[in-house]
Amino acid sequence: MTNLSQQPSPSFPGRLLRRSSRRYLRQHPLLILLSILGVAVGVSVVVGIDLANSSARTAFQLSTETVAGRATHALVAGDGPIDDDIYQEVRVGLGVRQAAPILEGYARVSDPTGPVVQLLGIDPLADGDFRSFAGGPGGGLDLGGFMGGSSSVLMAPATASRFGLEIGSSFFLWVDGRAKEVTLLDMLDPSDDLEATGLDNLIVMDISVAQAVMDAPGQLSRIDLRLPLPIDVENMTALVEDRLPENVELRRAEARSSTLDQMTEAFSLNLTAMSLLALVVGMFLIYNTMTFSVVQRRSLMGRLRALGVTRREIFWLVLSEALLIGGIGAIIGVLGGVALGRVLVGLVTQTINDLYFVVRIRDLDLSYWALAKGLLLGIGSTLLSTIPPAREATRAAVSTVLRRSENESRISAMLPRLNWSGLGLAVLGGLLLWGSGTNIAVSYVGILAIILAGACWTPALVLLGSRLLRPVLGGVFGIIGRMAASGIGQSLSRSAVAVAALTIAVSATTGVGVMVESFRTTVDTWLTYSLEADVYISPPGTVFRRNDSTITPEAEAVIRSADGVISSFSVRTANVVVDNEPTDLIVTEPRPSALEPGRYKAIADYDHREAMRSRDVVMVSEPYSYRHGTRVGDELLIVTANGPIRFEVGAIYHDYASDLGAVQMTRSRYDIHFNDPFVSGLAVYVAPSDSVETVVEQLREATTSVQGLNIRSNRDLRQASLEVFDRTFTVTTVLRLLAILVAFVGVLTALMSLQLERRRELAVLRANGMTPVQVRRTVTLQTVSMGLIAGILSIPMGLVLSWLLIFVINQRSFGWTLQFIIDPMILGQAVLLALLAALLASVYPTWSMSRANAADALRAE
Amino acid sequence: MSPLLHVSGLRKSYTEGDATREVLKGISCEIMQGELIVLLGRSGSGKSTFLNMISGMDAPSSGSIQFDQTELTALSDTERTLFRRHAIGIIFQSFNLIPTLTVAENVLLPIELAGAGSKEDRDTALKVLEEVGLADRHESFPDRLSGGEQQRVAIARALAHEPRLILADEPTGNLDAKTADLVMDILERLVHDDNRTMLIATHDRDIIRLADRVFLLQEGHLTETSKADALARS
């Protein structure tokens, strides 16, 4: 008999234990359904955002790769377009046979506000080695028609069908406000689905047609090369250095797609972080449900322990229940995520198109990895949040039948430890935020630690809140009010979790709300001093914040000499290579008015404005300075038409137009170093005696026949800018709402478990003469009080979060300095939101408890 | 013949705030195979604590509990649980059936926990239920049974895996006289026909009459007393 204690100790519960567990879950369908819903919504949000982000990335990569074809390298000019003479030199002079000229750009189809398509100009005779879709020699393409026709274009059948075009159809392509009629000669022939996706938004034409459509005579975007062997690359590098102009350089083909990937990195990461918030709130919900199920079954678990069930079996039993809930929730969540992703992808694409580059997403990129990640995240977070209740379950005493009050007394005894844990987490969060440098992911972990610190302090604060509310509610509602307030403190193990979940969701809303409002106010202020002129003119661009289109010299002359225009200055946006990276270069003419000192973050100790005109001095935007660690006095190597030249940084200026950063140069220096006489925009001052609106109308009439231009008054441009700003935060708003939905489900679950536990107490009250109306009032008062406590707690928590979002996350993601604006309305909304969520969540439990049969409840005990 | 259970110098104390309360003050006893021992004592005298120590549900502050060759006090919590699972059957005053399992499943549970659970084991469970007169209720859930029926299921559960020692804490305490008689008949059959070893904490005179020996737990000390004395006290 010595081996009685040495039987193998099974970790997983047996068949009967699992059956018992399943029956328990079936007896509480609503609670389990709500938990599944909580996990499902959390997972949906994460999967939805992940799919939207990855779909945008994949669509862009596919389109880039399809356009790049089999090219391994490309010759580009650091200062803008490349001259097509260079192509001749490469092909004939250098003897490189596998080279193809490319002119790329964007156009709007049919009208100046129509959908944006990508244009690709190629030489079909040279292109066969690079891209198969355009046919090439030996393919089915009518080369004569393609090269000979002055307006022939090709597109994929799906693209043609989207625009309602057939072979032979003519339509207009609008570039920089100028229209060019083209004819659909033939359809592209994608070799597979992947290529079809890559071609989805592409119009292909002969290089000469592209130069005509884009008004870029003699210009190329790049020259594609095939250099499969390292020795080829070495030879080519040497040839470029020896034989080609200084502004031409050799780049790897994939460099372009990775550069553009980096552009949206911070944007994508912030969306992912926001989406994880919903999952964190969902974890509180699971924790609450599983704690409830454990507390309710403590005596049952004690009995099982008495019968010889080990702690480990109990632990796995609870965990297996969570696995079931998490598994079902995660599966539903992944399916919901796909549906949500279809909605979010539109919003994400819109933002990318507004801020970064043109991308069109035909369909969601349903990668198995993204779906598996969602499943793992859902199940993992469920299991993680179940570990504390599962451990609690293993501590069920075998020799006594515990009641919840003993659990409550233990929670009360744990308060000091919880408070210290909160302090520890807050310190840890602070250290992570302080020590994470520019790492945004670690910064978010720091913020999560601070959120959890708040959750640890919640029980003590809930207890304090219930004590403060007791006399107030007692004074107004008598015994019912006192009971409602005391009930919160007495059922701390339930109420604190519900309040914590609601507080986190509402404070996140408040935090993001304050951040967005602060951001908006900062941008508004910046627009006020940046937009000094009365009227702004630019060609219709494809990306709102990065307009490098050009105004024709004719239109420029008409505008500058128009009646009512007393002065004007131009802006040119170009993409040049600065310190080996493609960078936006903003070229400005001197402005008539003095610039506000608040425009600058840092300036040199000399007159930088004068220096920018007289020598090679530039300014960099705050995000550029942050991304590259650039300071006043540093030097930047800018590739100009005259080769690379060093420019000194004379100032760092505030700029909220682009998080990618920009370099600013005066027109006089630009004209010396670049062969580009064009302007991208004009700012016009109107004589005080004239009405701005009248001048705008006159300018529109005067330029209509020359070039289609966006001519907007200061007020209209400012409004349009803020509209784009608001649009970029639409996804954030959707995510905030979803986090609140999860929190609402959490509160509902918590309230239901609370009321289920109070069945007997309420039955005794009913037996002693309490009416259903009084029961309803007690329950409602209690839940509304919990909402009030959550709302009040969410204010300081929300302000801390907003401060961190503004001064840590925003700063580290984009390098912007924002003002910290606290709008009392947002704080008031937080309290109202928490109250409303609690009130709504109380409807069903209140109704259910007031209808419950007192005799049944008493008998059930 | 060596005893099945040998308890020596068993002490158990609880800390309540700054004070320490000693419930068991050095108890020693021996129980032989096939004996029916009745444990008497007032409410709060430590009877349940004593049973908890023997079953391994709780660990003593000091002393020794030797079950056959196994020293329980040297075992970890998990080892004590595994020991209990195989060697002990427990009958509680408040039945403590698992509400989410049927009657048959409740009886089958200790068998399954002991590592079995086949079709034959299910037949065994039904046979034990038949012995307690509840074979026809095997598909019912505990909440559909009367108190007496629940206690009979609890007895069946305690017997199903054929434990070497059955512990019962006031097995008739929650039953009316008629139902208690029925439970008594079963216990009597178990002891005299099946030669089971039982330790029963009870005040029930009928059970005392069945006992081979009676122990009295008083102020933390255990003494053996006569049945006549025990009947006079109960």
A2-38 pLDDT, tens digit per residue, is 455 555 555 556 778 888 888 888 888 887 888 888 8
**Nearest of A482, A317, A336 to residue A390 by alpha carbon:** A317
Residues of A in contact with B162 (CB under 8 A): none
Query: What average pLDDT does this structure show over A401-405?
Result: 36
The residue of chain A nearest to residue B49, with distances taken between CA atoms, is: A399
Per-residue confidence (pLDDT) for residue A632, from 0 to 100: 94
Q: Tokens standing for A216?
A: 């870029």
Per-residue confidence (pLDDT) for residue A422, from 0 to 100: 94
A406 pLDDT more than 50: no
- CB-nearest partner of B109 from A16, A305, A310: A16
Nearest-neighbour CA in chain A from B228: distance (Å): 31
Q: CA of B182: how far to CAs of A123, B92, B152, B171, B206, in Å? A: 102, 16, 9, 12, 11
Q: Measured between alpha carbons, how far is A503 from A435 in angstroms, rounded to an integer? A: 27
- CB-nearest partner of A311 from B68, B78, B109: B78
* B153-176 confidence digits (pLDDT tens): 998 988 888 889 999 988 887 777
Query: What average pLDDT does this structure show over A667-677?
Result: 91
At residue A362's C-alpha, the angle toward residues A357 and A367, to 5°, is: 95
The residue of chain B nearest to residue A26, with distances taken between CA atoms, is: B100
Hey, is the C-beta of A560 within 8 angstroms of any chain B C-beta?
A: no
Helix/strand/coil for A80: strand
The residue of chain B nearest to residue A13, with distances taken between CA atoms, is: B113
Q: Tokens standing for A28?
A: 């509480």
A606 pLDDT more than 80: yes
Residues of A in contact with B197 (CB under 8 A): none
At residue A663's C-alpha, the angle toward residues A662 and A666, to 5°, is: 135
**Confidence at B9, pLDDT banded by 50, 70, 90:** very high
Q: Tokens standing for B195?
A: 């030669």
Question: Of A232-241, A389-398, A628-637, B83-92, which one has max mean pLDDT?
Answer: A628-637
Q: Measured between alpha carbons, how far is B161 from A4 in angstroms, rounded to an integer? A: 13
Interface test with A, best of B6, B52, B57 (most A CBs within 10 A): B57
DSSP run (H or E) holding A109: strand A99-109
**Confidence at A332, pLDDT banded by 50, 70, 90:** very high
Nearest-neighbour CA in chain B from A300: distance (Å): 7
Yes or no: say if A345 and A51 are a contact pair by the CB < 8 Å rule. Answer: yes
Hey, is the C-beta of B77 within 8 angstroms of any chain A C-beta?
A: yes
DSSP run (H or E) holding B85: helix B77-87
Higher pLDDT, A346 or A327: A327
* A770-801 confidence digits (pLDDT tens): 777 777 888 888 888 988 999 999 999 999 98
Tell how far CA A474 is from the center of its chain: 47
Under an 8 A CB cutoff, do B109 and A307 touch?
yes
Beta carbons within 8 Å of A531's beta carbon, 6+ residues apart: A714, A717, A718
- Residue A600's DSSP bridge partners are A653
Per-residue confidence (pLDDT) for residue A424, from 0 to 100: 96
- CB-nearest partner of A5 from B52, B83, B90: B83
B193 pLDDT more than 80: no
DSSP per-residue codes, A580-634: TEEEEEEEEPPPSSPPPGGGEEEE-SS-HHHHHHHSSEEEEEHHHHHHHT--TT-
Residues of B in contact with A299 (CB under 8 A): 96
Q: To the nearest whole percent, how much of chain B has pLDDT over 90?
A: 25
Yes or no: say if A385 and A286 are a contact pair by the CB < 8 Å rule. Answer: yes
A170 pLDDT more than 60: yes
Domains identified in chain B and CATH numbers: 5-233 (3.40.50.300)
Q: Measured between alpha carbons, how far is A45 from A374 in angstroms, rounded to an integer? A: 9
Hey, is the C-beta of B57 within 8 angstroms of any chain A C-beta?
A: yes
Q: Measured between alpha carbons, how far is B199 from B197 in angstroms, rounded to an integer? A: 7
Mean pLDDT of chain A: 82
Query: What average pLDDT does this structure show over A590-599?
Result: 63
Higher pLDDT, A338 or A502: A338
Per-residue confidence (pLDDT) for residue A734, from 0 to 100: 80
Under an 8 A CB cutoff, do A4 and B68 touch?
yes
Per-residue confidence (pLDDT) for residue A633, from 0 to 100: 94
Q: Residue A774: count other Cβ atoms within 10 Å of its Cβ.
A: 17
A549 pLDDT more than 60: yes
pTM here is: 0.71
Q: Are strands A581-588 and A662-666 parallel, antiparallel or unpaired?
A: parallel
Q: Tokens standing for A366?
A: 């349903």
Burial zone of B72 (CB within 10 Å; 0-12 exposed, 13-18 middle, 19+ buried) = buried
A652 pLDDT more than 90: yes
**Confidence at A193, pLDDT banded by 50, 70, 90:** confident
Interface test with B, best of A1, A2, A3, A5 (most B CBs within 10 A): A5
A663 pLDDT more than 90: yes
Helix/strand/coil for A343: helix
**Confidence at A405, pLDDT banded by 50, 70, 90:** very low
Q: Residue A358: count other Cβ atoms within 10 Å of its Cβ.
A: 17
Q: CA of B119: how far to CAs of A222, A519, A828, B160, in Å? A: 78, 70, 65, 14
Q: Measured between alpha carbons, how far is A320 from A324 in angstroms, rounded to an integer? A: 6
Yes or no: say if A518 and A818 are a contact pair by the CB < 8 Å rule. Answer: yes
Q: Measured between alpha carbons, how far is A524 from A715 in angstroms, rounded to an integer? A: 11
Q: To the nearest whole percent, how much of chain A has pLDDT over 70?
A: 88
Nearest-neighbour CA in chain A from B143: distance (Å): 9
Per-residue confidence (pLDDT) for residue A858, from 0 to 100: 53
A670 pLDDT more than 90: yes
* B15-57 confidence digits (pLDDT tens): 776 788 899 999 999 999 889 999 998 888 888 889 989 988 8
Under an 8 A CB cutoff, do A305 and B81 touch?
yes
Per-residue confidence (pLDDT) for residue A551, from 0 to 100: 86
A402 pLDDT more than 50: no
Q: Residue A141: count other Cβ atoms within 10 Å of its Cβ.
A: 22
Q: Measured between alpha carbons, how far is A711 from A700 in angstroms, rounded to an integer? A: 7
Hey, is the C-beta of A859 within 8 angstroms of any chain B C-beta?
A: no
Query: Where in A472-593 does DSSP place strands (E)?
Result: 535-538, 565-578, 581-588
Question: Of A58-62, A277-281, A580-584, which one has max mean pLDDT?
Answer: A580-584
Yes or no: say if A354 and A545 are a contact pair by the CB < 8 Å rule. Answer: yes
Q: CA of A660: how far to CAs of A144, A266, A356, A656, in Å? A: 44, 10, 8, 10
Q: CA of A308: how far to CAs of A300, A762, B47, B105, B158, in Å? A: 13, 35, 20, 15, 11
Interface test with A, best of B71, B77, B82 (most A CBs within 10 A): B82
- CB-nearest partner of A308 from B52, B84, B108: B84
Under an 8 A CB cutoff, do A310 and B115 touch?
no
Burial zone of A768 (CB within 10 Å; 0-12 exposed, 13-18 middle, 19+ buried) = exposed
Q: Measured between alpha carbons, how far is A158 from A360 in angstroms, rounded to an integer? A: 13
Higher pLDDT, B59 or A5: B59
Q: Tokens standing for A281?
A: 């709130």
Nearest-neighbour CA in chain B from A11: distance (Å): 11
Interface test with B, best of A2, A16, A22 (most B CBs within 10 A): A16
Under an 8 A CB cutoff, do B70 and A4 touch?
yes
- Could you tell me the sign of the dihedral formed by the alpha carbons of A473, A475, A481, A482, in that order? positive
The residue of chain A nearest to residue B105, with distances taken between CA atoms, is: A16
- CB-nearest partner of B100 from A4, A9, A23: A23
Higher pLDDT, A162 or A286: A162
Beta carbons within 8 Å of A131's beta carbon, 6+ residues apart: A66, A67, A69, A70, A122
The letter for the amino acid at A359 is: V
Per-residue confidence (pLDDT) for residue A619, from 0 to 100: 94
**Confidence at A137, pLDDT banded by 50, 70, 90:** very low
**Confidence at A230, pLDDT banded by 50, 70, 90:** confident
Under an 8 A CB cutoff, do B113 and A14 touch?
yes
* B97-131 confidence digits (pLDDT tens): 888 788 998 898 888 877 766 778 888 888 889 88
Query: What average pLDDT does this structure show over B171-187?
Result: 80
A423 pLDDT more than 80: yes
The letter for the amino acid at A289 is: T
Per-residue confidence (pLDDT) for residue A410, from 0 to 100: 59
Per-residue confidence (pLDDT) for residue A539, from 0 to 100: 82
Q: CA of A486: how far to CAs of A204, A475, A495, A783, in Å? A: 74, 14, 11, 12
Burial zone of A460 (CB within 10 Å; 0-12 exposed, 13-18 middle, 19+ buried) = middle
B207 pLDDT more than 90: no
Per-residue confidence (pLDDT) for residue A404, from 0 to 100: 39
- CB-nearest partner of A303 from B48, B79, B96: B96
